[in-house]
Structure 1
Amino acid sequence: AYANFIDELYQNVDEGSFSQDTVHLDLRSESALAQSIVDVLAHQFGHPNVGLDSDLFSVGVDSLQVLRLSKLLRLSLGAEGIFLDQNTIAPRVIYANPTPRALAARLFKIATGKDSQNDEPIDEVEALADMVLKYTADLPPPNSIQAQPADEGQTVLITGTTGSLGAYILDRLISNP
């Protein structure tokens, strides 16, 4: 029931149903653009503790804010005379460049025409590999001794059932009482 509402909300963001002003982006240098992004995150999105090298998702940026940020950046670059389609600054660009400094470097290349589409897959693979290393470095080794699950009386709490995987898991749990 609420899946339709959420889908409509994301669609409205994509189609521009939310009024959103542009912001000034300082395109004189990568560092100036990075500071502009920090300012946007502080003033437009309510994240005052973001630094140039802060991981956006660690400071609370969520998926809806990523959609809004990608649109705001695209529209703001358009206001500066740099018109790009929505795929050029898609949310995946923000996910692949999760700090203001990295995002500014990517956007500066796009804005100055020095962006090579051939570099993108390598950048994304490297970024993903870096994230895997970063978030798995301190994981404890797996426990080799596991308790057997109870056959009866289990309580299961599941969140995220609007996505296809969550809906599938919920269906499997319901069909196996």
Structure 2
Amino acid sequence: MNKPLLLGLSLAILAVSGLVIAAQIYGTLATVSYNVISNNSSNQQIQVIPINFNLGNITAGQSGSLNGSTTVYIPSNGTYDLELKEDVLDNVFSQFIATITIGNHTITLQLHENNDYQIYLTAGKYTVTVKITYTVSQNPEAKSVSNAPLLLLKYEGESDGDS
């Protein structure tokens, strides 16, 4: 057989073997996330860096709580809707409560009860704190959830602020 061909095949096999071995011995040490906040006053969108609540591995009957905070930029005065997204919680939790403090308002949203709240906010920058308290059902549906929306803040429209 041709020596250059054998040498080429040998090098190709060696390179592929090296890639396979390298793929088995590395791990992600860190990840990065960011959201650029625009200083442009013509931007009429809510700007927020989401809080990431990682519950890790959970088991039937387990209870716990987590706290988080973020900054929200509200572009204009009006009524805003806070919503707890039940679809990511259904069939897993018997209790799930989110207590949200925004400005001088504290709102409690609950799975299957009060999962929606309208609030009047004036334009500006707000520090928002969220505490979640949960209990896993005795027979939870087996599923894996990653970075799913949990709480939404949506502009509903202008009002007189008497809400």
Normalised to the residue count of structure 2, the TM-score between the two structures is 0.22
More helix by share: 1
Q: Which has the higher contact order (CA 8 A, sep 6+)?
A: 2
Return the index of the structure with the highest Cα Rg: 2
Normalised to the residue count of structure 1, the TM-score between the two structures is 0.21
More strand by share: 2
